[in-house]
Chain A
Amino acid sequence: MSAETTEAQPSAAPVPGPRKRPVRPLSRKPRRRRGKSTALTVAMGLMLAYALVPLVWLTISATKSNQTLFDSPGLWFGDGFHLFENIHDVFTYDDGIYLRWFGNTLLYSVVGAGGAAMIATMGGYALAKYDFVGRKFLFALVLGAISIPATALAVPTYLLFSEMGIVNTPWAVLLPTLASPFGLYLMQVYAKDAVPDAMLEAARIDGAGELRIFFTISLRLLAPGFVTVLLFTLVATWNNYFLPLIVLNDPDLFPLTVGLHQWNSMAQGGSGAGAIPILPLVLTGSLLAIVPLVVAFLFLQRFWESGLSAGGVKQ
């Protein structure tokens, strides 16, 4: 499924409930009503295995040389431990193009997702906390935009951007990523409850300007929602493939996804016949591409889980 699937239908969403009750953190102990069940735990263990075994396979494969890949069991280590050698090869192959791709992905994700989350936060906050001219129209616009399938726009985006002369530049990837209607919608829902009107009024009476209120008070209250939107836009941009594939043709600008696919095609076509067999590079490069996001999710779990439970469910 394309990475740009984080869009949802708007009018589908019933009006956010007036629930003001503090949201239960997801990680808190589940309700205990009955005893633990070993049978259920085992059944869920199968599902956990389904989720993790492919990743275990990838990790183990990344420790193998090209030869060992073919003559050792998939889920166990082969002769020798080649992980560091493979990583070295990944980083140095073709004058270190992988590091370049890594840097590009980092740039597209940090600027694209960070910008998208910030823009969505400001817009959502405006919709939730201000009564301004055109508010209803803009809200309807956002809701309508959520159902526009982003990938259907990829080919037209390329054509338009080539007229504008910005294909094959980072802008071609960044500009479409910055617009996240779903993120804005989520922030609107979140801001409604997270920022009390009374507090805004109090700050205004104290003479604080609107910008100051936003940056010093509201933004802090909006942080869990912001992190949630940030992580989900981060996944969308880190995993973005279709758009960069179309709008970029200079390998120096590729993100990891497009670059890895190119390596993979070379490995399949056998055209990568250089000094180094390319298959271990594809596998090790894939593993390295996964690590940052998994780590980000694990470390920021507390934030995005509370954001998810507060904003994601109410719709």
Chain B
Amino acid sequence: MRRSAVRRNLTAHAFFLPFLAVFAIGVVAPLVYAVNLSLYQERMIGGTSFVGLDNYAKALEDTLFHVGLGRVALFFAIQVPLMLGLALLAALVIDSGRLRAPGVFRIGIFVPYAVPGVVAALMWGYIYGDRFGLAGEVEDLFGVDLPDFLASGWMLASIGNIVTWSYVGYNMLIFYAALRAIPDELYEAAEMDGAGSIRKAWSIKLPALRPALLLATIFSVIGTFQLFNEPSVLQALAPAVITTNYTPNMYAFSLAFEGRQFNYSAAIAVMLGLVTVVVAYVVQLVTARRERML
């Protein structure tokens, strides 16, 4: 008996080992390396020297970094609630059973998720344009004057639209799956107790959705603060609007590959990671507090 327990222990470790290996190389090592790099600085004279937290102090006062960070924070405050709200509405409607051909809606709205972000940005970039996109045609057809979606005032909203288009169906499915997991008996019991549809939505659906909502919000925090693909692609269409520090990730990228400032770039990457984790943690705290209040 004892020997089989030892062997089982070994088997479990063997099952886990491949993950540990790729995790060490793909995640832990770059992380440790980044933190280490960020503590050094390359000087014109004297080569590389240890500077402690100097790079972080520099980042704290770096306006270029702040502007990008402020931009993704604004994006997070507006785009994420809009997208998740839309996804939630769609999930509730499909779950209500009042649609004709619900399967068509479920799959159709989800399809953009399978489109690579680069292709989505490319496609929308052309659609926004008035050369052969749809925006120009809508203008001609209805005689209206649409704003220039790729101008500086509209760019962030235009990117928000691309991200919403890509992920609204994915989030909808996550919410829908959570709604489907509610046992019918719960509704039946509520009906017997005389609960109306609002009461049922509040007392049954909302609690059931909470974990899924939290998950979707955390995904969105990470995605938003790391925003890179869409602005990077649109940069080709509007180089004057999308500067190299448009988002913090683009800034880290250009610092490393255009400025060759690897140490400072590593510090920006680490700080961005920290900001992301902190925001994700705050979201979680807020949700946890609400849960206690209810």
Q: Which residues of A contact B (CB under 8 A)?
A: 1-9, 11-14, 19, 21, 23-24, 26-27, 29-38, 40-41, 43-44, 47-48, 50-55, 57-58, 61, 69-70, 73-75, 116, 119-120, 122-123, 125-127, 130, 132-135, 138, 141, 145, 147-160, 175-179, 181, 184, 204, 210-211, 214, 235, 238-239, 241-242, 246, 256-258, 260-261, 264-265, 268-269, 282-283, 286, 289-290, 293-294, 296-298, 301, 305, 308-309, 312-315
Contacts of A296 in B (CB 8 A): 114
Interface centre among B105, B165, B211, B222 (most CB of A within 10 A): B222
Say whether A157 contacts B119, CB under 8 Å: no
CA distance A241 to B184 in the complex (A): 43
Number of contacting residues on B, CB 8 A?
118
Q: Which of B106, B173, B219, B232 contacts A5 (CB 8 A)?
A: B219
Contacts of B84 in A (CB 8 A): none
Say whether B97 contacts A33, CB under 8 Å: yes
Shortest Cβ distance from residue A267 to the other chain B in the assembled complex, whole angstroms? 8
Say whether B108 contacts A9, CB under 8 Å: no
Say whether A235 contacts B113, CB under 8 Å: yes
Say whether B93 contacts A179, CB under 8 Å: no
Q: Which of A61, A155, A269 contacts B265 (CB 8 A)?
A: A155
CA distance A248 to B226 in the complex (A): 20
Given contacts A1-B227, A126-B12, A179-B26, contact A290 B184 (CB under 8 A): no
Say whether B111 contacts A175, CB under 8 Å: no
CA distance A16 to B238 in the complex (A): 47
Contacts of A127 in B (CB 8 A): 16
* Binary CB contact string for chain B from 166 to 186 against chain A (1 if under 8 A, 0 otherwise): 111100011011101101100
Contacts of A305 in B (CB 8 A): 177
Given contacts A9-B280, A70-B132, A264-B233, contact A122 B16 (CB under 8 A): yes
Q: Which residues of B contact A (CB under 8 A)?
A: 4, 7-9, 11-13, 15-16, 18-20, 22-23, 25-27, 29-31, 33-34, 37, 86, 90, 93-120, 122-124, 126-127, 131-134, 137, 163, 165-169, 173-174, 176-178, 180-181, 183-184, 187, 211-212, 214-215, 218-220, 222-230, 232-233, 236-237, 249, 252-253, 256-257, 262, 265-266, 269-270, 272-273, 276-277, 280-281, 283-284, 287
Interface centre among A9, A214, A239 (most CB of B within 10 A): A9
Contacts of A73 in B (CB 8 A): 137
Given contacts A2-B229, A239-B116, A315-B215, contact A41 B96 (CB under 8 A): no
Shortest Cβ distance from residue B216 to the other chain A in the assembled complex, whole angstroms? 9
CA distance A158 to B270 in the complex (A): 14
Given contacts A13-B211, A156-B33, A257-B118, contact A175 B123 (CB under 8 A): no
Say whether A74 contacts B133, CB under 8 Å: yes
Contacts of A32 in B (CB 8 A): 97
Q: Which of B12, B96, B111, B249 contacts A152 (CB 8 A)?
A: B249
Given contacts A2-B229, A210-B8, A211-B11, contact A153 B30 (CB under 8 A): yes
Residue on B with the closest CB to A159?
B262
Interface centre among B168, B178, B226, B227 (most CB of A within 10 A): B226
Shortest Cβ distance from residue A259 to the other chain B in the assembled complex, whole angstroms? 10
Say whether B219 contacts A241, CB under 8 Å: no
Say whether B98 contacts A35, CB under 8 Å: yes
Q: Which of A47, A132, A147, A158 contacts B90 (CB 8 A)?
A: A47
Say whether A8 contacts B215, CB under 8 Å: yes
Say whether A2 contacts B227, CB under 8 Å: yes
Interface centre among A21, A154, A283 (most CB of B within 10 A): A154
Q: Which of B23, B107, B120, B215 contacts A12 (CB 8 A)?
A: B215
Contacts of A40 in B (CB 8 A): 93, 96, 98-99
CA distance A125 to B12 in the complex (A): 9
User: Can you sample 30 A-B contacts with CB below 8 Å?
Assistant: A1-B117, A2-B117, A23-B181, A24-B181, A40-B93, A57-B123, A57-B134, A70-B131, A120-B19, A126-B13, A130-B8, A132-B12, A141-B23, A145-B27, A147-B276, A149-B222, A149-B225, A153-B31, A156-B34, A159-B33, A159-B34, A160-B29, A175-B25, A176-B27, A179-B19, A181-B27, A261-B233, A286-B123, A312-B174, A313-B178
Say whether A31 contacts B111, CB under 8 Å: no
Given contacts A7-B222, A294-B114, contact A12 B284 (CB under 8 A): yes
CA distance A130 to B107 in the complex (A): 37
CA distance A141 to B25 in the complex (A): 15
Residue on A with the closest CB to B24?
A179
Contacts of B218 in A (CB 8 A): 8-9, 12, 147
Shortest Cβ distance from residue A109 to the other chain B in the assembled complex, whole angstroms? 11
Say whether B19 contacts A156, CB under 8 Å: no
CA distance A138 to B13 in the complex (A): 10
Say whether B99 contacts A36, CB under 8 Å: yes
Given contacts A23-B181, A31-B184, contact A54 B122 (CB under 8 A): no
Say whether A52 contacts B111, CB under 8 Å: yes
Say whether A298 contacts B107, CB under 8 Å: yes
Shortest Cβ distance from residue A42 to the other chain B in the assembled complex, whole angstroms? 10
Given contacts A24-B180, A26-B177, A214-B15, contact A152 B269 (CB under 8 A): yes
Residue on B with the closest CB to A37?
B98
CA distance A33 to B161 in the complex (A): 35
